[in-house]
């Protein structure tokens, strides 16, 4: 792991072919007295394959809107989302969504909910094949034995796990999660975070996740995208996770970089998210390349050229 | 706890029933000394003095019980066009209700579905529905008789009209207010329109649709009695009207009781069906 402060302009080999790319995204609403309010604007963010990206920002800055645009459920006022070199035009089975609030279909059992998604993805599969495939993912989220329960008979954590199983079972290219654990108690949240991390690292799943929880972001994310407060929210900076890849919930706080990273994120949420506008006035700010920071990593040198063994 | 409550409620119901029958019994007691020859007395009283006559014309609970038993023993007799068993009359009424109601469901549910799916159609048809809905179904009767020229079919038509609105409105409302999240789930899964309609929208709206169907059957059963009084011929409404002309209060009371019972059975049947499609969120 090399430690450096990237100037943010490196379009290295990893940056050249993102799986999905948010470009110049903006969302405006007509104001009451006339004119427009801009919720966010000029949001640029490439997401690479296999990467886990967390988006943090205060309530109302437009996080859900960005996720819905990525999902194809919402249209931006300006800008595009590019997947495979093409602008997305609507929802796709390639981008599975885990909604805030489970959004299971309450008249279907756990198995039927998952199977509904799988048959959408694989209309040609026979019933027993669909069933076996669903069972695999129900087992992955540790819901074996609850296949025939209705969502109303499940606890909040179990419902959220069904939502995860449903999303994973369609084997999407990308997983979009909107505060998936925010409604859960700390214990359930912890174990679900562990499960998601295990599954996503094992399958090298590309994930875009919204969260309010700094510790969750530090555990799960490779990159943490910080948004300023709305209106006219923008990406303030991108924080690279400086904790080791094999971090565990139980020992994450023992790592040398833990407090540097945590304090940086906290400081941003508490003060800098408000004052960022004046901060960039002094330094100059390129929305296409927001500053990338690596808290805790010793800035041994500001490299002019990234070394070949860049962190992957 | 639960069981003792329903037991106590049942006991209270029986007590109230006994109280009502007792009050009825004592209210009708004095003038029914000669119980044997009721009918000529009735006939005499129609033209007789009002105050005393009305009192004694009203049968005692025992009379009505006997009449009810007589009807229940032989509900399906046919002795000419104007004298048929109460079971047959009820069957005529039920038949008309079920045909009119069934046709209304066939029209209202698919149409309501389309209206609910399209905000444009919803808005466009709303004024028509709002104006047509509050019209008493019996107001259509002359129009129906004039155009259809068949009293039986006219009654069915009136049932059709009165059952239509609650089902149409509830279906449209249920479909239009399916939770956005569920539609988003269908959208992200790229579910086709037909599959979305049958696997997501229909089950989601089913409880609301069933509520409409339950309201409709209640209204239809209310209206059929009045409609049959107008068109005559057959049916429990006609029976009541006919017995009024015969001044046979016992028969009328029997019919009223049976109308209530059938209405309750229809309602319970639909409530049971509604439970099948209900879901907890
Ligand atoms: N129809 C609308 N008209 C005007 N403004 C709207 C409308 N819908 C949403 N907004 C605004 O868009 C902004 C972004 O909403 P969004 O749901 O994306 O926020 P969020 O960042 O996800 O917040 P939270 O963290 O609370 O979920 C909000 O400030 C909201 O006021
Ligand atoms: Mg949100």
Whether residue A214 contacts residue A269, with contact meaning beta carbons closer than 8 Å, is answered with yes
Q: Is the CB of B199 inside 8 Å of chain A's CB atoms?
A: yes
Report which protein residue has its CA nearest ligand 1's atom 22.
Answer: A64
Q: Is the CB of A106 inside 8 Å of chain B's CB atoms?
A: yes
Q: What is the rounded distance in angstroms from the CA atom of residue B80 to the CA atom of residue B59?
A: 26
A–B CB contacts, 8 A cutoff, strictly below: 57
Distance A59 CA to ligand 2 centre (A): 7
The whole-number average pLDDT for the span A48-66 is: 92
DSSP state of A229: P
B243: Cβ contacts below 8 Å, ≥ 6 apart: B249, B251, B252, B255
Distance A279 CA to ligand 2 centre (A): 26
Q: Is the CB of B280 inside 8 Å of chain A's CB atoms?
A: yes
Dig out the tokens for A119 from the structure.
């048959």
Closest chain A residue to the Cα of B188, Cα to Cα: A91
Lowest mean pLDDT among A186-195, B95-104, B219-228: A186-195
Band (pLDDT 50/70/90 cuts) for residue B223 is very high
- In the structure, which protein residues have their CB atom closer than 6 angstroms to any atom of ligand 1? A 29, 39, 59-65, 230
Whether residue A39 contacts residue A76, with contact meaning beta carbons closer than 8 Å, is answered with no
Task: Classify the complex by whether its ipTM is higher than 0.85, answering yes or no.
Answer: no
Closest chain A residue to the Cα of B207, Cα to Cα: A107
Q: What is the rounded distance in angstroms from the CA atom of residue A53 to the CA atom of residue A41?
A: 19
> Is pLDDT above 50 for A3?
no
Q: Which of A35, A40, A58, A64 to mutate to test the pocket of ligand 1 (most atoms within 8 A of CB)?
A: A64
Dig out the tokens for A263 from the structure.
């304090």
- List the domains of chain B with CATH numbers: 85-280 (1.10.3720.10)
Interface test with A, best of B189, B190, B208 (most A CBs within 10 A): B189
pLDDT tens profile A141-195: 889 999 999 999 999 889 989 999 999 999 999 999 999 888 778 888 888 898 8
List residues, by chain if needed, whose CB lies under 5 Å from ion ligand 2.
A 64
Band (pLDDT 50/70/90 cuts) for residue B53 is very low
Band (pLDDT 50/70/90 cuts) for residue A18 is confident
A92 to A101, A199, B184, B213: CA distances (angstroms): 20, 22, 11, 37
CB nearest to A96's CB, from B188, B277, B280: B188
Instruction: Give the pLDDT score at B77.
Output: 81
Instruction: Give the pLDDT score at B42.
Output: 56
> Is pLDDT above 90 for A84?
no
* Neighbouring C-beta atoms of residue A79, cutoff 10 Å: 18
Closest-CA residue to A140 (of A79, A210, A203, A188): A203
pLDDT tens profile B173-219: 999 999 999 999 999 999 999 999 999 999 999 999 999 999 999 99
Going across the sheet that includes A235-240, the strands are: A95-98, A174-178, A206-211, A52-56, A223-227, A235-240, A292-293
Helices A186-203/A156-169 angle, 10° precision = 10
Closest chain A residue to the Cα of B206, Cα to Cα: A107
Helices and strands of chain A, counted as H and E runs? 9, 11
B115 to B118, B122, B162, B171, B191: CA distances (angstroms): 6, 5, 19, 9, 21
A168 to A162, A177, B194, B195: CA distances (angstroms): 10, 12, 25, 22
CB-based contacts of A284-291 (< 8 A; 24+ apart in sequence): A286/A8, A287/A24, A287/A42, A287/A43, A287/A44, A287/A234, A287/A235, A288/A44, A289/A8, A289/A9, A289/A44, A290/A8, A290/A44, A290/A234, A290/A235, A290/A236, A290/A237, A290/A238, A291/A8, A291/A237, A291/A238
pTM, full prediction:
0.82
Instruction: Give the pLDDT score at B56.
Output: 52
E-strand ranges in A212-273 read: 223-227, 235-240
Residues of A with Cβ-Cβ distance to B204 under 8 angstroms: 105, 107
Q: Which of A36, A65, A230, A233 to mutate to test the pocket of ligand 1 (most atoms within 8 A of CB)?
A: A65
| DSSP structure string for A205-224 | -EEEEEES-HHHHHHH-SEE
> Is pLDDT above 80 for B278?
yes
Q: Is the CB of B275 inside 8 Å of chain A's CB atoms?
A: no
The helix/strand/coil state of A267 is helix
Going across the sheet that includes A78-83, the strands are: A36-47, A20-30, A78-83, A86-87
Which of residues 205 through 244 in chain B touch A, CB cutoff 8 A? Answer: 206
Distance A68 CA to ligand 2 centre (A): 10
Instruction: Give the pLDDT score at B273.
Output: 94
Instruction: Give the pLDDT score at A295.
Output: 85
- List the domains of chain A with CATH numbers: 4-94+172-286 (3.40.50.300)
Residue linked to tokens 């009371």: B253
**Interchain pair A73, B189: CB under 8 A:** no
Q: What is the rounded distance in angstroms from the CA atom of residue B18 to the CA atom of residue B20?
A: 5
Q: Which of A36, A63, A177 to mutate to test the pocket of ligand 1 (most atoms within 8 A of CB)?
A: A63
Whether residue B266 contacts residue B198, with contact meaning beta carbons closer than 8 Å, is answered with no
First to last CA, chain B: 27
């Amino acid at each position: 792991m090399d430690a450096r402060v990237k100037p943010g302009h490196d379009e290295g080999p990893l940056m050249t072919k993102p799986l999905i790319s948010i470009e110049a995204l903006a969302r405006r609403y007509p104001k009451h007295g006339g004119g427009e309010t801009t919720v966010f604007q000029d949001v640029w963010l490439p997401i690479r394959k296999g990467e886990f990206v967390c988006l943090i920002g205060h309530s109302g800055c437009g996080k859900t809107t960005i996720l819905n645009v990525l999902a194809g459920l919402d249209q931006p006022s300006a800008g595009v989302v590019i997947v495979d070199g093409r602008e997305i035009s609507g929802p796709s089975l390639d981008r599975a969504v885990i909604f805030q609030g489970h959004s299971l279909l309450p008249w279907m059992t756990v198995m039927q909910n998952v199977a509904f998604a799988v048959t959408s993805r694989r209309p040609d599969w026979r019933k027993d094949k669909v069933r076996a495939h669903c069972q695999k993912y129900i087992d992955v989220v540790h819901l074996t034995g609850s296949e025939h329960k209705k969502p109303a008979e499940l606890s909040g954590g179990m419902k959220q796990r069904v939502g995860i199983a449903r999303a994973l079972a369609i084997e999407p290219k990308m997983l979009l999660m909107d505060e998936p654990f925010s409604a859960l108690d700390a214990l359930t949240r912890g174990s679900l975070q562990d499960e998601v991390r295990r599954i996503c690292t094992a399958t090298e799943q590309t994930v875009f996740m919204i969260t309010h929880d700094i510790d969750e972001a530090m555990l799960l994310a490779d990159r943490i995208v910080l948004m300023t407060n709305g209106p006219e929210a923008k990406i303030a900076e991108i924080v690279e996770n400086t904790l080791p890849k094999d971090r565990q919930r139980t020992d994450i706080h023992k790592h040398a970089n833990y407090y540097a990273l945590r304090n940086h994120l906290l400081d941003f949420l508490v003060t800098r998210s408000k004052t960022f506008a004046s901060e960039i006035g002094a330094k100059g700010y390129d929305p296409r390349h927001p500053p990338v920071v690596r808290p805790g990593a010793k800035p041994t040198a500001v490299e002019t050229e990234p070394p070949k063994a860049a962190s992957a | 706890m639960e069981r003792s409550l329903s037991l106590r409620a049942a006991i209270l119901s029986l007590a109230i029933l006994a109280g009502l029958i007792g009050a009825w019994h004592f209210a009708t007691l004095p003038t029914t000394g000669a119980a044997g020859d009721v009918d000529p007395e009735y006939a005499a009283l129609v033209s007789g003095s009002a105050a005393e006559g009305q009192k004694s014309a009203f049968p005692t609970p025992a009379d009505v019980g006997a009449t009810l038993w007589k009807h229940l023993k032989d509900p399906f007799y046919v002795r000419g066009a104007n004298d048929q068993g109460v079971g047959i009359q009820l069957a005529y009424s039920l038949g008309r209700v079920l045909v009119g109601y069934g046709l209304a469901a066939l029209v209202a549910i698919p149409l309501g579905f389309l209206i609910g799916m399209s905000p444009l159609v919803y808005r466009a048809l709303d004024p028509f529905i709002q104006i047509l809905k509050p019209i008493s179904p019996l107001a259509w009767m002359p129009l129906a008789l004039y155009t259809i020229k068949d009293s039986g079919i006219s009654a069915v038509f009136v049932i059709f009209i009165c059952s239509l609105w609650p089902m149409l409105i509830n279906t449209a409302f249920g479909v239009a207010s399916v939770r956005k999240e569920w539609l988003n789930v269908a959208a992200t899964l790229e579910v086709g329109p037909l599959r979305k309609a049958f696997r997501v929208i229909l089950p989601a709206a089913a409880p609301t649709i069933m509520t409409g169907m339950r309201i409709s059957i209640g209204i239809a059963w209310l209206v059929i009695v009045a409609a049959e009084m107008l068109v005559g011929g057959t049916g429990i409404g006609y029976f009541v009207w006919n017995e009024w002309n015969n001044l046979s209060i016992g028969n009328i009371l029997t019919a009223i009781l049976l109308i209530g019972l059938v209405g309750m059975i229809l309602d319970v049947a639909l409530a049971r069906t509604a439970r099948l499609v209900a879901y907890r969120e």
